[in-house]
Amino acid sequence: MRRAVHLRGAGVAVIDGARSFTWCAFADRVARLAGAFAALGLGEGGRVVLLSLNSHRSLECFFAAIHAGGAITPLNHRLALGELCDQVADARPDVIVLGDDFASYRGDLLAAAGGKAALVHAGEGHAGEGMHSLDALIAETEPLPDRGRGGDDLAILMYTSGTTSAAKGVMLSHANLVANTANTYGELGFGPDIVHLHHGPLFHVAAAARVFSVTHAAGTHVLLPRFVAGEVLAEIARTGVTHATFVPTMLRAMLDDPALASTDLSSLRILSYGSAPMPEALLREVMAALPKVGILQSYGMTELSPVVTILNCRDHLPENHGSGLLRSAGRPVLLSEVAVVDVADRPLPVGEAGEIVARGPNVMLGYWNRPDLTAEVLRGGWMHTGDIGYFDDRGYLYVVDRLKDMIISGGENVYSLEVENVLTAHPAVSQCAVFGRPHDHWGEAVHAVVTLKAGIAATEAELIAHCRAHLAHYKCPRTLEIRDRPMPLSGANKIWKARLREELLSSGH
């Protein structure tokens, strides 16, 4: 942040609705809040838990926790209270910060923290009993000098989304976040003139890491409390947003919003996407709707801070559309080494699928309180992602499935992403999810769940026939559900396959 103050002290740092702060004013608020956190008991290496929708106060908590020598722990506000309590009990924070929507959780979360954490209210309303007002703390506290933490010191303790298993606390260091900035800065075209929209939740690593990258650039942060397609479009036009990041479900919602055609998006330079597989048909729709916007994909995971490969804007140009690149996750970034290995961790040749592994300064410190899991995934100095992929002869990585999502039907491997790409190419399909269901004869059978675009009809038989026209028979869904309600989403806005699988099995079908 010192760099941002030096480069653009009088420039706008944060826009949050009708409020805005210069970098000098924002840095002063952060230093004062850091002093308050320290006075409330935040020690060196301690944690500040944050449970809030996006706001300028959320950003202040991110930087104040670190400024005071601690780490920030943003929690997924979409979790049930019991799940949040489990994570608080695991993190053992010194301070718990709650937004307006979550102040009623204070008693349960304080108990989960062992009754010793300070409670801070970060919102517009009155601070509840036993809570300190964040704004009052800033007004009443003198600025604290930066404690100067860095390198391998813990900066963020971030719990994974838990879409495939129980959430784990991922420890990311200052060095991890600096490496991620170095890995993405140039390809994103970052500089002091950027205006970045934060509409995705800051408990998601892509959004959290971007907070630090935009600050390093001395750019401007624009905050929306949550993603709503029409509000995102309006905010891009209102504030002159130049950069924004989306997951595929968000892009689908924006394409379907009637306001898209009439909204001035001329300020938008780069739209980046990731965090979930992007159907090629959807990507082509986005590029057709926004022909003057640079499109960029990043691939990675929380444990990698998060980016390890980028499919850059040049790779998305029309002259490359026929080369298969749009199905790729791109090439490894500057400071990350990526490989594909077999079950014995031996490197595989070009074109052969195996587990994707990565190493470099962006790899996490480990899992909080889980040395067993840390040792399991960091074997031989490589982070084992649990994703299946392969390299082509140009060095582009193709991600074909999660190891846990791969379907084995009659001894044949079926990659769900391949089937999903075929289904989303059908003109009636809006979203889909493919996974395995138990089968007495084949072990697993391919099952698909789809939602349809408004005003376009299709039958289960028609969609299965569409798959059979493009895929080997064993890869095609044996059963298919046309869903008449929204797909369940994880906190990161990914389609929650585990929930769909649970619904299927509990229905007895």
- For the stretch 194-216, pLDDT in tens is 999 999 999 999 999 999 999 99
- The verdict on 344 and 213 lying in the same domain is yes
Say if CB 336 and CB 187 are below 8 A apart.
no
Tell me: pLDDT of 122 over 70: yes
Q: Is omega for the bond preceding 306 within 30 degrees of 0, making it cis? A: yes
End residue of a domain, out of 387, 402, 417: 402
Find the mean pLDDT for residues 139-149. Answer: 97
The predicted pLDDT at position 509 comes to: 66
- The verdict on 123 and 192 lying in the same domain is no
With CA atoms as reference, report the closest residue to 177 among 196, 195, 150, 200: 150
d(CA 194, CA 197) in angstroms, rounded, equals 10
Question: What is the pairing mode between strands 307-311 and 294-300?
Answer: antiparallel
- Tell me if 1 is assigned to some domain: no
- The verdict on 205 and 127 lying in the same domain is no
With CA atoms as reference, report the closest residue to 283 among 477, 467, 420, 188: 420
d(CA 4, CA 256) in angstroms, rounded, equals 37
Q: What is the side-by-side strand order in the sheet with 397-402?
A: 337-341, 354-359, 383-391, 397-402
With CA atoms as reference, report the closest residue to 38 among 67, 68, 59: 68
Find the mean pLDDT for residues 145-174. Answer: 87
Supply the CATH number for residue 261's domain.
3.40.50.12780
Domain span including residue 50: 23-149
Reported as half-sphere exposure (CB side, CA atoms, 13 A), residue 12 has a value of 18
- The verdict on 475 and 503 lying in the same domain is yes
Q: What is the rounded (10 degree) CA torsion for 38, 39, 40, 45?
A: 20
Tell me: pLDDT of 289 over 90: yes
d(CA 89, CA 52) in angstroms, rounded, equals 18
- Tell me if 92 is assigned to some domain: yes
Say if CB 202 and CB 229 are below 8 A apart.
no
Tell me: pLDDT of 140 over 80: yes
Residue count of the chain, please give it. 509
- Tell me if 108 is assigned to some domain: yes
- The verdict on 135 and 230 lying in the same domain is no
d(CA 57, CA 486) in angstroms, rounded, equals 31
With CA atoms as reference, report the closest residue to 108 among 137, 135, 128: 128
What is the torsional sign of CA 445, 165, 183, 226?
A: positive
- The verdict on 113 and 208 lying in the same domain is no
What value does the mean pLDDT of the chain take?
94
- The verdict on 190 and 302 lying in the same domain is yes
- The verdict on 47 and 113 lying in the same domain is yes
- Tell me if 171 is assigned to some domain: no
| C-alpha 252 chain-centroid distance | 17
Phi/psi class of residue 44: alpha, beta or left (left: φ > 0; alpha: ψ in -120 to 50)? Answer: beta
Supply the CATH number for residue 57's domain.
3.40.50.980
Tell me: pLDDT of 73 over 50: yes
- Tell me if 320 is assigned to some domain: yes
pLDDT in tens, 176-193: 999 999 999 999 999 999
Q: Strand runs (DSSP E) across 264-353, as ranges?
A: 270-274, 294-300, 307-311, 331-332, 337-341
pLDDT in tens, 401-429: 888 888 988 888 898 988 999 999 999 99
With CA atoms as reference, report the closest residue to 200 among 21, 300, 76, 303: 76
Tell me: pLDDT of 435 over 50: yes
End residue of a domain, out of 373, 402, 431: 402
Secondary structure (3-state) at 115: coil
**Total tally of structural domains belonging to the chain:** 3
- Tell me if 9 is assigned to some domain: no
Secondary structure (3-state) at 264: coil
End residue of a domain, out of 402, 433, 454: 402
The pTM assigned to this predicted structure is 0.87
- Tell me if 89 is assigned to some domain: yes
Tell me: pLDDT of 92 over 80: yes
Please enumerate, as own/partner, the contacts of 182-187 that have beta carbons within 8 Å and a separation of 24 or more: 182/334, 182/335, 183/307, 183/308, 183/310, 183/333, 183/334, 183/335, 183/336, 183/362, 184/213, 184/298, 184/307, 184/310, 184/333, 185/213, 185/216, 185/217, 186/334, 187/296, 187/310, 187/312, 187/313, 187/333
- Tell me if 86 is assigned to some domain: yes
The predicted pLDDT at position 164 comes to: 45
- The verdict on 343 and 250 lying in the same domain is yes
Question: What is the pairing mode between strands 71-74 and 118-122?
Answer: unpaired
Q: Which amino acid is at 11?
A: G
The two structure tokens encoding residue 91: 């993190």
- The verdict on 491 and 412 lying in the same domain is yes
Confidence of residue 350 (pLDDT cuts 50, 70, 90): very high
Helix H or strand E encompassing 48: strand 47-51
With CA atoms as reference, report the closest residue to 485 among 471, 472, 475, 500: 500
- The verdict on 224 and 357 lying in the same domain is yes
The predicted pLDDT at position 216 comes to: 97
Tell me: pLDDT of 53 over 60: yes
Find the mean pLDDT for residues 253-268. Answer: 96
- The verdict on 202 and 292 lying in the same domain is yes
Secondary structure (3-state) at 318: helix
